[in-house]
Structure 1
């Protein structure tokens, strides 16, 4: 694991995620956990956590799992939360890479009018679950 650290930024040679320090403050944030205000030590722990979770070699390594849990605890989150946040960031990057570039001056088409969702109001007191159905009749007959 190699994390490059300077006064304003932490980057990794393993992952595209990063940590940044707010201008004129001692408050850090992680690219994958932007809503949390962190200390420099917490930001470093977050970068280490990202590197651990990005390494496919440690999937079954109990020591790495313990290290990941310890780094997550420093951030005040669970490892599972970190996994979800990092997976979302990965999906966003993959989605951006598959979209064709859009010229800055291109006019966007209007959004289509969507039909009313079928499940509107499903959570109201008038909702009654189905007691029969082709699938259930087939399975239980």
Structure 2
């Protein structure tokens, strides 16, 4: 489980989701692919990527330490972890449906 981060993009080795920095001068230049419409600080984007990684790892389903980390990362984004699960699931279903059509 690793988030790869540069000055402009964050990717995951667990998930196709990503974060990117807009080339505008702004106090919140970051966006998450799975959280559209939200402008974020770098730390928030990283928390969002880590949250996605925790939720993407089926080995962590019963891990209480991971549950605490999930709650922590969701809190940084000011969303409920349940909302994050729903948003990420919707994106996964959309990708699967698009693959079926292709």
Match of 1:95 among 82, 94, 97: 97
Q: State the structure with bigger RCO (CA 8 A, min sep 6), 1 or 2.
A: 2
Q: Take 1:25 and 1:14, find their aligned partners in 2: how far apart are those partners?
A: 30
Q: Which has the higher helix share?
A: 2
Q: Which has the higher strand share?
A: 2
Q: Which runs of 4+ in 1 moved over 2 A?
A: none
Partner SS for 1:25: coil
TM-score (norm 1): 0.69
Report the number of matched residues. Answer: 100
In structure 1, what is the equivalent of residue 53 of structure 2?
51
Partner SS for 2:44: helix
TM-score (norm 2): 0.94
RMSD (Å) for aligned C-alpha atoms? 0.9
Q: Take 1:25 and 1:81, find their aligned partners in 2: how far apart are those partners?
A: 29
